A and B are shown apart, each in its own frame.
Chain A
Amino acid sequence: MTGPAISFQGVTRRYPQKGGGDVVALHDIWLDVPQGAITGIIGRSGAGKSTLLRMVNGLERPSAGKVIVNDHDVGAASDAGLRRIRREVGMIFQHFNLLASRTVAENIALPLEIAGEDRARIAPRVAELIERVGLTAQAGRYPAELSGGQKQRVGIARALATGPRVLLSDEATSALDPDTTRQVLDLLQAINRDLGLTILLITHEMAVVRDICSHVAVIEAGRIVETGETYAVFSKPAHATTRSFLTGVTGVAVPQFVAHRMQETPQSPEAEAVLQITFIGSHATDPMLARLTAERGVSVNILAGAIEEIGTRPFGSLIVALPAQRLEEARRFLEEHGLLTEVLGHVG
């Protein structure tokens, strides 16, 4: 299989309203989700990401366009066909959605029972899944006796029970604390690596995308506004929504005392330009800034900065102020040396 695992082809979803007029939740979405990768769809609540995710297993149907999953057209599938597709697509949820009346093992067995699997074959399969998610000691417990992280592990084991090729994650870590989030993300990453499972997740946290997604799509008001490999999108965000998601996660924002006074254009000859410098891979900025000062005589004032890892690659951002009159010269110098720059505004 070389094609995408999931392909959204011109998908639109309208909700007819009483008294006429439609609400358009998704507008002409074109998106390919690559095989075997972890792809994140990030957006604010109400952006349409949940509707988009539910198109993949037919919990929502498109008003126009096609959703192709493992070469099946989900929107056109019959009820029975849809149930077959759903057994090849696992799903985990923000609030876990475990049956309170079933033990951990019984919850994990549920999709196998639904698929009509032999009783004799369910038990060993469940034991294997419980071991994979590290809950062997909790097999006989009920969800009410588990922590949030343990519940999501049960959710993951349950989603894997029928051996799906695609896993959908609906804000799976949004109800968890940071430590537990980290553990659940690690588990998802391990599953992706070990089983070659395609994972499509939706989230409103850029940190989730940074930590495990190799590809990202940014959704805003029912439209995909930016898409690509995570590293590329992080290093050169093209859309304002992407940038606002990134400020939270890359830890750099213009300090308040500067932000208050910032304007589009310089107001005086002494004005300073506020510049965001992004460096990726092995580039080191400090020598570059030092060289900018030494070789070009441009003095640079650092306002904020941070270095992160995306995947295993370092990724850094600096916000600096420098004389506006020297701005173009400084940018050319930095970009010639492989750094990315963006003018945020001017002060004075």
Chain B
Amino acid sequence: MSANLIPILWQATLQTLYMVATSTLLGTLIGGPLGVFLATSRRGELLSAPWLNTVLGLIVNAARSTPFIILVVAIIPFTRLIAGTSIGTTAAIVPLTIAAAPFIARLIETAIREVDAGLIEAARAMGATPGQIVRKVLIPEAMPGIILGLTLAVVSLIGYSAMVGAVGGEGLGDLGIRYGYQRFMPEVMLAVVVILIVLVQLVQSAGEWIAARFDKRAPRNRGR
């Protein structure tokens, strides 16, 4: 591989990190509260709002069942409205965020539903408001699961980010296609794949490490 490809690979890596980090952050800002709401708003639950729960659930499912590449193209007008342009790395963050938010919402919903109902009852018995129960009980207790869920989301977004080359999103995936495939430089393709593998490994390991730091429950398969 010629030395002048190194800066190109480096820049593409930074672009991927930028897109993934920003869309994870924005996706969590939208998907986090949405997930908490979905986890607590069925009939008879803490924030009981069955109709809104159903409607939001349908929207989340619709967003999640749309193939990402179709989503990217379908929302180009919306992307232009938000980002001022429909092409480029920053513009690519819009569809990535819209794909990430419902995914993160479902992951956080699942993590929160894992929290023992007895803890909610105990907090209610203490005179906690629904907001206090969410902040002081549900989110801290679900934190290990939330971290693992976000790890999964980041890994998925790394994969999605490879498709935004379709709207000039650049990044590693785009580089792999343009150089590796269209210019027939298989070593670039290989380098891109290796970098992606390393990124995913790092994210996964970091996520598991952080989740373990938050996890104060008894170790599984060991006593008690």
Contact = CB atoms under 8 A, between A and B. Distances in A.
Q: Do A and B bind each other?
A: yes
A57 B125 CA distance: 7
Given A114-B132, A114-B136, A142-B216, A99 B141 contact: yes
Interface in A286-310: none
Interface in B188-224: 214, 216-218, 224
B221 to A, nearest CB: 14
Interface size class of A (residues with CB under 8 A): 20 to 34
Contacts, number: 66
Given A83-B127, A86-B127, A111-B126, A97 B224 contact: no
B58 interface: no
Interface string A55-89: 00101000000000000000000000011111101
Interface in A153-188: 162, 168
B61 to A, nearest CB: 26
Interface string B123-135: 1111111001000
B140 interface: yes
B210 to A, nearest CB: 14
A201 to B, nearest CB: 15
Nearest to B140: A101
Contacts of A89: 125
Contacts of A162: 126-127
A144 B125 contact: no
A331 interface: no
A119 to B, nearest CB: 14
Interface string A96-133: 01011110000000110111000000000000000000
B136 A110 contact: yes
A176 to B, nearest CB: 14
B118 A93 contact: yes
A254 B132 CA distance: 55
B132 A102 contact: no
Contact of B217 (A87, A93, A100, A168): A100
Given A85-B127, A86-B127, A93-B121, 18 more contacts: A59-B121, A59-B124, A82-B127, A86-B126, A93-B122, A95-B118, A99-B141, A100-B217, A102-B140, A110-B123, A110-B136, A111-B126, A111-B127, A114-B128, A115-B126, A144-B216, A144-B218, A168-B125
